[in-house]
Chains A and B, each alone.
Chain A
């Protein structure tokens, strides 16, 4: 092709090539002879057998990296353990110094990181240079501050130990920062497994971290494929796994870590809705889609990939969108004038293309601009699909937008929430009333109003439903790298009193039932169990709930969802009222507890009343936050109820245990299904009478008595439950965590450890945090 003359360009106004140089990256690769070992204990290991990592834009091999073996991981975990013991004792301000130096280092080498990232990943240099790398630096700065403050702001907490981080290929360095910065700030060490396709920036970062004075062993990078990742997850020396990646792998990790006591955060896939109301600035909303679905070739977990546009403006909006698509420039990611770079790998491109090619419904529109040969995919818009179509439901993870229309706000919300995922959502409207009505109703961890894909270290990021759990960024993100310093005792299983050979039967028979949807109901199965006191007195019978009772209770809890939107003030009033009514029957409950446990019960009743008051107090005071983000935007961290929560209540404190878990849940607006103490269930069945007289709306609290082991499975496996907690003395933690993998509900389990329900451990921020999800709502602003 002959070079066009200036005169010709004057007429065509062509952009021409604007390549970013890569000499420094090539020199760095050459310095390592294009072969890398792992980074363990502050140095590179000998390169071993492994695989090539390629530049997806050209197919050229950039380097050979080593496949991490269990032996490599053993070395890395040991080095991390050694280093962490010292690091945890380093004062916070000293840790802050190192994190600050890391932030500076990223800035000083910003272009080297950006070019390497683009070469390894295929994303446009504009993105790696202007978005990824600055966010990485910002993340370390922010966490330098958290390291400084954590000791004074989070007393009674300590680091977890060794954190295993398994990160994806779409934001290799940024995801490293999201895992490494909070881990180090909190006093942990890290073993990081970068994605097979994009290991290089992690290796560069690790190598350079020496220059920031990061003590050796605190950051270890073991390269490899999924097998290496699985081995890291399974390693017994790892205290926490932080994973970002697909829902499929996240589910496997949930299963693999179930019952191990490893702490876990998962940031998984999404099919994030992008809602455009008819009063929106349509041109800006179109531009937002460029950032939503054509950012990083659409290979973004929170990509706004489901356009939901109001019917009256849909045609105009699609027309504008198609015109904008025509201007997108696809090509060499190292070119400074490119909008859409290379897909990560031909294998992934084939998967995305196959999904689009298989689409037989609607209209498939591909951007008309030239698409270079190789690993490139044209920006694509698919309109006219029904909501049942796989492409409306499944994550494509490519530059493919699907679109549908709605008529009114409630329909927009219904369509948006019609998904197994719940990562992010975008809302475009100029009407602040509408925006603030819609944002809380969307099932998502992040909502952007009139913007999309805004990120900052101060603002939590993470999902709900099958998009995972845990937040990254902000104090909420740091909490996932800390644990209480208390050392709990083991919890011995407590069995119901066995039927004595001879027993007394006193008084009038009272039938304890289940409490579902505000009504006392008989167990579906029609079975009951006699309950005896330790002294051998027959205290009564308790219904044996079964799967169907759980099903009914969960349905009742869902039907009570208006509770979530009631005010904190009115929830407080009801909690106070429950306390008042319990107080009126204190003597009776004290006697009941004495009968059930053989110990004086008065103190437990008193503590239960106090606890109800505690959460009545919290109901209107567990405030969210406005995050200080470095842009003209309000980033609201809103505490929302988790949803419907199933709880296996403690056996050791039959009334106080149940109240300690129920009260924070309903105070925060959740509805719940409580499985009372299996050993001593009658305090709970008495308690529903208290609930009945306290103005609690039907279905907010449901009580199903029965076998913990049997009900736990149904509860944890229920796909319409948002969280399940077990504090049962029956060792059910592994089962609950395993069964929760179905819909990746949140879990809070005791790992067979005791908790002193009557003391400070029995209440406090842990409970409120577990009872809430933080939704980050970004509201950029500005007018004149």
Chain B
């Protein structure tokens, strides 16, 4: 990285100043959960074809151009959980990712756009990489998120899954992305799902918990809607679409279904729950569609890192190219931007 020391310190201090706002409990009351309400769960409907139509027409209904597009893309950057979840992850690889998290877009570009010091929302890694990541992000204020509970399948022993959460929190993770037991949804065992989620939430302590529904393995939007609701009842801070490892990951219809559940939950309880689409969001245009959906369906608070994240690894690269195009008028190339 070739930024001047002064700018770098500015980045650090600004990032540190903004970082806590990434956590939901800072600006909004944390969702305490509620008793499982099975009647409510049973009454939840999600009409697939109608939801698909709404999602399909959204890109044609919403469009942001020029400065607005640049601002929206920068917003997307600030919401990214920059992620590496590979068997070949090493401390070195994670350190490079963390450097990218601190400086997601070339400094002079951020300067030109009026948002120096912009960072991503968080860095997301496996448990063994939590410590290296925490070290690499020291002083940046960027939280480390750990995927946990036998990620991605969630089928290791219950006890080890709960322990894994505690270990990751102990290692410094501020956010825990848990995976739910898909079988509880597929068999309609809402009580089991609720109990599991509630215990995982308890194990997280002050770390905030994102419930990964692995929607590609729930198969129907009705299941997605009901599972979303149960996880919120059990105290999830965020509901997240996917591990990135399912055959189908984030889609607009799934996100629409989940955020409608978030809205109903807020209407009933007053608590705001965040949303994280993850997996398969790789184009700048995709990010804009998701943001438009959040903005229109849930409102501005859900366009902030405390209530919205993108789980993505390659999205940032496309955004960087789009931003450079915005600044220069020329189409950009990947090698002009630092690797994460």
Q: Spell out A's residues near B (CB within 8 Å).
A: 3-10, 12-18, 126, 129-130, 279-285, 287-288, 327, 336-337, 339, 428, 430, 450-451, 632-633, 780-784
- Of residues 277 through 312 on chain B, the ones whose CB sits less than 8 Å from some CB of chain A are 291, 295-296, 300, 303
> What chain B residues lie within 8 Å of A428 (beta carbons)?
47
| Complex contact A6–B61 (CB within 8 A) | no
B151 within 8 A of partner (CB): no
| Complex contact B75–A10 (CB within 8 A) | yes
> What chain B residues lie within 8 Å of A8 (beta carbons)?
71
- Of residues 190 through 219 on chain B, the ones whose CB sits less than 8 Å from some CB of chain A are 219
| Complex contact A16–B49 (CB within 8 A) | no
What does DSSP make chain B's interface, helix, strand, loop or mixed? helix
Q: Which residue of B lies closest to A127 (CB)?
A: B60
> What chain A residues lie within 8 Å of B26 (beta carbons)?
none
Q: A3-B67, A15-B62 are in contact. Are A284 and B50 (CB under 8 A)?
A: yes
> What chain B residues lie within 8 Å of A279 (beta carbons)?
43, 45
B3 within 8 A of partner (CB): no
Q: Give the docked Cα–Cα distance between A97 and B162 (Å).
A: 68
B30 within 8 A of partner (CB): no
**Measured between C-beta atoms, what is the minimum distance from A659 to chain B in Å?**
46
Partner pick for A129 among B60, B66, B260, B295, CB 8 A cutoff: B60
B51 within 8 A of partner (CB): yes
Q: Give the docked Cα–Cα distance between A129 and B71 (Å).
A: 27
Partner pick for B220 among A126, A450, A780, A783, CB 8 A cutoff: A783
> What chain A residues lie within 8 Å of B66 (beta carbons)?
16
Q: Give the docked Cα–Cα distance between A280 and B64 (Å).
A: 33
Q: Which residue of A lies closest to B118 (CB)?
A: A10
**Measured between C-beta atoms, what is the minimum distance from A295 to chain B in Å?**
11
Partner pick for B71 among A9, A126, A287, A783, CB 8 A cutoff: A9
Q: Which residue of A lies closest to B67 (CB)?
A: A6
Q: Give the docked Cα–Cα distance between A303 and B221 (Å).
A: 28
B184 within 8 A of partner (CB): no
Partner pick for A126 among B60, B221, B296, CB 8 A cutoff: B60
Q: A283-B260, A781-B49, A784-B220 are in contact. Are A13 and B63 (CB under 8 A)?
A: no
Q: Give the docked Cα–Cα distance between A475 and B61 (Å).
A: 33
Q: Spell out B's residues near A (CB within 8 Å).
A: 43, 45-54, 57, 60-68, 70-72, 74-75, 113-115, 219-223, 260, 263, 291, 295-296, 300, 303
Q: A6-B113, A13-B303, A14-B68 are in contact. Are A430 and B49 (CB under 8 A)?
A: no
**Measured between C-beta atoms, what is the minimum distance from B318 to chain A in Å?**
18
Q: A130-B60, A283-B260, A430-B47 are in contact. Are A782 and B52 (CB under 8 A)?
A: yes
| Complex contact B48–A6 (CB within 8 A) | no
Residue of B52, B66, B68, B260 with highest tally of chain A CB at under 10 A: B68
> What chain A residues lie within 8 Å of B220 (beta carbons)?
783-784
| Complex contact B61–A339 (CB within 8 A) | yes
Q: Which residue of A lies closest to B52 (CB)?
A: A782
**Measured between C-beta atoms, what is the minimum distance from B58 to chain A in Å?**
10
Q: Give the docked Cα–Cα distance between A6 and B73 (Å).
A: 10
Pairs A–B under 8 Å by Cβ, sample size 29: A4-B67, A5-B67, A6-B70, A6-B71, A6-B74, A9-B68, A10-B115, A13-B72, A13-B300, A15-B62, A16-B65, A16-B68, A18-B65, A126-B61, A130-B60, A284-B50, A327-B296, A336-B60, A336-B63, A337-B61, A337-B62, A428-B47, A450-B50, A451-B49, A451-B53, A632-B52, A782-B49, A783-B222, A784-B221
**Measured between C-beta atoms, what is the minimum distance from A581 to chain B in Å?**
51
Q: Give the docked Cα–Cα distance between A275 and B113 (Å).
A: 49
Q: Give the docked Cα–Cα distance between A9 and B303 (Å).
A: 12
Q: Give the docked Cα–Cα distance between A18 and B61 (Å).
A: 11
Q: Which residue of B lies closest to A284 (CB)?
A: B50
Having A7-B71, A9-B67, A15-B64, one finds 17 other A-B pairs with CB under 8 Å, namely A6-B74, A7-B114, A10-B71, A10-B115, A12-B300, A14-B68, A16-B65, A16-B68, A17-B65, A18-B65, A18-B68, A126-B61, A280-B45, A632-B49, A633-B49, A782-B48, A783-B222
Q: Give the docked Cα–Cα distance between A243 and B223 (Å).
A: 47
Residue of A15, A126, A279 with highest tally of chain B CB at under 10 A: A15
**Measured between C-beta atoms, what is the minimum distance from A340 to chain B in Å?**
11
**Measured between C-beta atoms, what is the minimum distance from A194 to chain B in Å?**
26
Partner pick for B67 among A16, A336, A782, CB 8 A cutoff: A16
> What chain A residues lie within 8 Å of B75 (beta carbons)?
10, 13
Q: Give the docked Cα–Cα distance between A130 and B62 (Å).
A: 13
Q: Give the docked Cα–Cα distance between A130 and B53 (Å).
A: 13
> What chain A residues lie within 8 Å of B57 (beta carbons)?
130
> What chain B residues lie within 8 Å of A282 (beta carbons)?
45
Q: A280-B45, A281-B46, A430-B45 are in contact. Are A337 and B54 (CB under 8 A)?
A: no
Q: Give the docked Cα–Cα distance between A494 and B302 (Å).
A: 80
Residue of A12, A16, A284, A339 with highest tally of chain B CB at under 10 A: A284
Q: A287-B54, A430-B47 are in contact. Are A10 and B74 (CB under 8 A)?
A: yes
**Measured between C-beta atoms, what is the minimum distance from B77 to chain A in Å?**
10
> What chain A residues lie within 8 Å of B291 (beta carbons)?
13
Partner pick for B219 among A129, A130, A784, CB 8 A cutoff: A784
Q: Which residue of A lies closest to B303 (CB)?
A: A13
**Measured between C-beta atoms, what is the minimum distance from A324 to chain B in Å?**
9
**Measured between C-beta atoms, what is the minimum distance from B4 to chain A in Å?**
21
Q: Which residue of B lies closest to A14 (CB)?
A: B68
Q: Which residue of B lies closest to A13 (CB)?
A: B303
Q: Give the docked Cα–Cα distance between A16 and B292 (Å).
A: 13
Q: Which residue of A lies closest to B74 (CB)?
A: A10
| Complex contact B63–A18 (CB within 8 A) | yes
Residue of A12, A288, A428, A782 with highest tally of chain B CB at under 10 A: A782
| Complex contact B50–A780 (CB within 8 A) | yes
**Measured between C-beta atoms, what is the minimum distance from B230 to chain A in Å?**
18
Q: A10-B75, A15-B64, A17-B65 are in contact. Are A284 and B47 (CB under 8 A)?
A: yes
| Complex contact A284–B67 (CB within 8 A) | no
Q: Give the docked Cα–Cα distance between A40 and B43 (Å).
A: 61
Q: Which residue of A lies closest to B260 (CB)?
A: A283
| Complex contact B114–A5 (CB within 8 A) | yes
Q: Which residue of B lies closest to A15 (CB)?
A: B64
> What chain A residues lie within 8 Å of B260 (beta carbons)?
283
> What chain B residues lie within 8 Å of A430 (beta carbons)?
45, 47
Q: Give the docked Cα–Cα distance between A451 and B74 (Å).
A: 36
| Complex contact B114–A281 (CB within 8 A) | no
> What chain B residues lie within 8 Å of A780 (beta carbons)?
49-50, 53
Partner pick for B63 among A10, A14, A337, A783, CB 8 A cutoff: A337
Q: Give the docked Cα–Cα distance between A153 and B172 (Å).
A: 75
**Measured between C-beta atoms, what is the minimum distance from B322 to chain A in Å?**
13
> What chain B residues lie within 8 Å of A337 (beta carbons)?
61-64
**Measured between C-beta atoms, what is the minimum distance from A298 to chain B in Å?**
17
Q: Give the docked Cα–Cα distance between A339 and B71 (Å).
A: 22
Q: Which residue of B lies closest to A337 (CB)?
A: B63
The 9 A-B pairs with the shortest beta carbon distances in the complex, nearest first, are: A16-B68, A9-B71, A284-B50, A780-B49, A784-B220, A281-B47, A336-B63, A782-B48, A281-B45
Q: Give the docked Cα–Cα distance between A523 and B57 (Å).
A: 63
Residue of A13, A632, A633, A783 with highest tally of chain B CB at under 10 A: A13
Q: Give the docked Cα–Cα distance between A26 and B27 (Å).
A: 51
**Measured between C-beta atoms, what is the minimum distance from B112 to chain A in Å?**
9
Q: Give the docked Cα–Cα distance between A175 and B42 (Å).
A: 44
> What chain B residues lie within 8 Å of A336 (beta carbons)?
60, 63
**Measured between C-beta atoms, what is the minimum distance from B14 to chain A in Å?**
12
| Complex contact A450–B63 (CB within 8 A) | no
> What chain A residues lie within 8 Å of B61 (beta carbons)?
126, 337, 339
**Measured between C-beta atoms, what is the minimum distance from B106 to chain A in Å?**
15
Q: Give the docked Cα–Cα distance between A450 and B47 (Å).
A: 8
**Measured between C-beta atoms, what is the minimum distance from B148 to chain A in Å?**
28
**Measured between C-beta atoms, what is the minimum distance from B22 to chain A in Å?**
15
Partner pick for A288 among B46, B50, B113, B219, CB 8 A cutoff: B50
| Complex contact B50–A281 (CB within 8 A) | yes
Q: Give the docked Cα–Cα distance between A18 and B66 (Å).
A: 9
Q: Give the docked Cα–Cα distance between A16 and B47 (Å).
A: 32
| Complex contact B295–A13 (CB within 8 A) | yes
Q: Give the docked Cα–Cα distance between A169 and B240 (Å).
A: 46
Residue of B47, B64, B300 with highest tally of chain A CB at under 10 A: B47
